[in-house]
């Protein structure tokens, strides 16, 4: 597999990031260990989590796995802060960031985070304060690189200007919601800014919470998983058109729909690697195939057109 560099950092990895939101939720600790073992055996290294996932449970399980396998130096740990952990424990103030990073490091059982991300914008805190705090964390060796999630092009532009003018560490990644169905918040100004300024993009909800696996085609399918309740919003004319286009590509390639969804994402300008989760080794092996799948220009255009 061809590795992709995350922005202007020295972080490079294969075009698939494992989404750790399932750790301690739809995957217990033992099953998490099994799936993560399969993930690294397939040649992947990047794992994304957040302090808020399971209120620390996801980071704790990931830390336990790395300790048990003795592989911290062979994987990349991405985590996030900013969403509410408890009353008074949220946002991107310098004071809170000092506390949050130590708690994440303890749960992860490591002395550094490879990519530390602002989970969402904090309108109550000046971006300069946040970036200065990140800069101190990087200089202290606790963080290698920083990124953002759910930021707009304007917010990235402001942050980039502050980092440049004050000689501070800059955001090297953006984590937007982006997939074949949900495209409007990324395509356009944000995508253009990321490409122009070499900001790596690692989209979440790459499979639209499971809709793009093709598993949910009617309301009768909603009970197939804990995520089924989210599927109603996707089952409109656009969603059905996307599934039809994916079915056609599946017939042409022999790939399953989840693999096609990941291949389409990896073909889009600015994308470093999609984030996706698996709850079994079988699902993980399919995601690995998707990360390696190359679609034809005609197939990419047909899929793109179906989601417009």
Contact 94, 130 (CB under 8 A): yes
Is residue 90 domain-resident? yes
Dihedral Cα 218, 223, 227, 232, nearest 10 deg: 30
User: What does residue 271 show for φ and ψ, rounded to 5 degrees?
Assistant: -75, 125
Distance CA 86, CA 271 (A): 33
What pLDDT score does 68 carry?
98
Residue 208 lies in a domain: yes
pLDDT in tens, 102-142: 999 999 999 999 999 999 999 999 999 999 999 999 999 99
Strands 4-5 and 12-13, by their bridges, are: antiparallel
Q: What is the pLDDT of residue 188?
A: 98
In a domain, 242, yes or no: no
Q: What CATH code is carried by the domain that includes residue 205?
A: 3.20.20.100
Burial class (CB in 10 A: 0-12, 13-18, 19+), 88: exposed
- Cα 183 from Cα 193, distance rounded (Å): 15
State the first-to-last Cα distance of the chain, in angstroms, to the nearest integer: 30
Asked if residues 11 and 114 have their Cβ atoms less than 8 Å apart, the reply is: yes
The secondary structure of the chain, three-state, reads CCCEECCCCCCEECCCEEEHHHECCCECHHHHHHHHHHHHHCCCCEEECCCCHHHHHHHHHHHHHHHHHCCHHHCEEEEEECCCCECCECCCCHHHHHHHHHHHHHHHCCCCEEEEEECCCCCCCCHHHHHHHHHHHHHCCCEEEEEEECCCHHHHHHHHHHHHHHCCCCEEEEECECCCCCCCCCCCHHHHHHHHCCCEECCECCCHHHHHHCCCCCHHHHHHCHHHHHHHHHCCHHHHHHHHHHHHHHHHHCCCHHHHHHHHHHCCCCECCCEECCCCHHHHHHHHHHHHCCCCHHHHHHHHHHCC
Domains identified in the chain, total number: 1
β-bridge partners, 282: none
Q: How far is CA 266 from the centre of its chain?
A: 13
Inter-CA distances, 137 with 108, 117, 143, 144, Å: 16, 12, 6, 9
For the stretch 176-209, pLDDT in tens is 999 999 999 999 999 999 999 999 999 999 999 9
pLDDT score at 1: 64
Low-confidence ranges of the chain (pLDDT < 70): 1
Specify whether the CB–CB gap between 66 and 75 falls below 8 A.
Answer: yes
Q: How far apart are CA 81 and CA 92, in angstroms?
A: 8
pLDDT of residue 232: 84
pLDDT at 229: 74
Would residue 237 count as lying in a domain? no
What is the distance between the alpha carbons of residues 119 and 302, in angstroms, rounded to a whole number?
A: 33
- Does residue 27 sit within a domain? yes
State the residue range of the domain holding 90: 4-215+257-295
134 is catalytic: no
**In the sheet that 17-19 helps form, which strands lie side by side, from edge to edge?**
200-201, 171-175, 143-149, 113-118, 76-81, 46-48, 17-19, 275-276
CA distance 154 to 163: 14
């Amino acid at each position: 597999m061809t590795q992709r560099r995350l922005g202007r950092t020295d972080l490079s990895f294969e075009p698939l990031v494992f989404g750790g939101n399932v750790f301690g939720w739809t995957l217990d600790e033992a099953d998490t260990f099994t799936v993560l073992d399969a993930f690294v055996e397939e040649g992947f290294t990047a794992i994304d989590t957040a302090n808020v996932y399971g209120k620390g449970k996801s980071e704790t399980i990931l830390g336990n796995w790395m300790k048990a396998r003795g592989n911290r130096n062979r994987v990349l740990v991405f985590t996030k802060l900013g969403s509410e952990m408890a009353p008074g424990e949220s946002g991107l103030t310098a004071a809170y960031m000092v506390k949050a990073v130590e708690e994440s490091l303890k749960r992860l059982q490591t002395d550094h985070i490879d990519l530390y991300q602002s989970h969402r914008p904090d309108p109550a805190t000046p971006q300069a304060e946040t970036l200065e705090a990140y800069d101190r964390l990087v200089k202290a060796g606790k963080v290698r690189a920083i990124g953002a999630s759910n930021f707009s092009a304007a917010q990235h532009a402001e942050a980039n200007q502050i980092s440049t003018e004050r000689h501070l560490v800059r955001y090297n990644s953006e984590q937007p919601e982006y997939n074949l169905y949900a495209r409007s918040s990324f395509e356009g100004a944000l995508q253009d800014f990321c490409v122009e300024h070499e900001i790596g993009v690692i989209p979440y909800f790459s499979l639209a919470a499971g809709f793009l696996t093709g598993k949910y085609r009617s309301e009768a399918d909603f009970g197939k998983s804990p995520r089924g309740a989210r599927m109603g919003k996707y089952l409109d004319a656009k969603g059905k058109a996307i599934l039809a286009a994916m079915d056609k590509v599946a017939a042409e390639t022999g790939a399953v729909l989840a693999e096609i969804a990941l291949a389409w994402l990896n073909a889009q300008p600015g994308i470093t690697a999609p984030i996706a989760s698996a709850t079994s080794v079988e699902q993980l092996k399919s995601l690995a195939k998707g990360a390696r799948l190359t679609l034809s220009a005609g197939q990419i255009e047909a899929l793109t057109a179906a989601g417009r």
